[in-house]
Structure 1
Amino acid sequence: MKRFFGSEEQPPAIEIVDYDFVKKLPCEPQKLLIDVRKPKELKETGQIPTSINIPLALLCQELIASKSIFECKYGRKKPQPDTEIIFYCRSGKRSLQAAETAVALGFRKVKSYEGSWLDWAKKEGLPE
């Protein structure tokens, strides 16, 4: 795997964020919110506004894809090493795995939404 930080540097810590942080993301288009659930899960529940779906199993290959392929597939600029990326899933377990993957690939501003969809749905009054 390609890393963007030197071998002597420690990888960045994964910050844990909450509902209030994610709720503000529509006003911050430079940040990228990624839902790592399977497409079937999204069809059953919906997804957080402004998020894109990249299933956990495909995350590594999508984050290293070319700029043009990423932008064509997702309609968003491909994240750079200093892009703020926030991951979420159903409960927070896969989002943490996704965040670890992103850090291993050299992304430095990686966050995981604790509680993820279950927390969002509860606070938004949506079915879980």
Structure 2
Amino acid sequence: MLHFIKKGGLGAAFIRKLAATSEGTRTIMNKKDSTISCSDLKTVMAKGSLQIFDVRTEAEVEMGTIPNSINIPVDEIEAALKRDDADFKQKYKINKPKLEDNIVFYCQMGRRGARSTDIAQSLGYKNAHNLAGGFQEWSAKEEQ
């Protein structure tokens, strides 16, 4: 089980149920809240069952990234997610996420990631999440 941080109350952690898909990966079931903690992101990353999007600027990306993340600045997220599959793959060199895929957005501290998550959810992405604390928290935990 994964522990997520409730949107709007960063100290209120709770357990999320997971369900295995036919491919053996796990899908986040509770879609009410949209924030994932660094430790839970690492758990999901180990299973390889998600796509991670860095919504920071190029200058911020040069300072470091989360492994296997793809940079799409926040101002481009909506247009990117509206692209057809072939155009998305040509531009970003990865398959466009499906509406039911687990996707995580992150920025430096969390605001742009939350905005990107909201955009994705408004476009029908059911399992879109924002990394709590963003890259700042991720890099601090990596240094420990």
TM-score (norm 1): 0.82
Q: Which of these residues, 41, 52, 58, is aligned with residue 39 of structure 1?
A: 58
Q: If each structure's strand is expressed as a fraction of its own residues, which one has the higher value? A: 2
Q: What is the percentage of aligned positions where both structures have the same residue? A: 28
- Indicate conservation of the 8 Å contact 1:34/1:85, yes or no: yes
**1:86 alignment counterpart:** 104
Take 1:52 and 1:105, find their aligned partners in 2: how far apart are those partners?
19
Q: Is contact 1:32-1:85 (8 Å) kept? A: yes
Q: How many residues align?
A: 114
Task: Mark the runs of 5 or more structure 1 residues left unpaired by the alignment.
Answer: 1-11
Q: Say yes or no: does 1:48 pair with 2:70.
A: no
Gaps of 5+ in 2: 1-30
Moved more, 75-84 or 93-102: 75-84
Superposition deviation, residue 26 in structure 1: 3.8
In structure 2, C-alpha distance between the alignment counterparts of 1:35 and 1:102, rounded to whole Å: 14
Alignment partner of 2:124 out of 103, 106, 126 = 106
Q: Which has the higher contact order (CA 8 A, sep 6+)?
A: 1
CA distance in 1, matches of 2:58, 2:33: 25
Name segments (4+ residues, structure 1) moved above 4 Å.
none
CA RMSD of aligned residues (A): 1.6
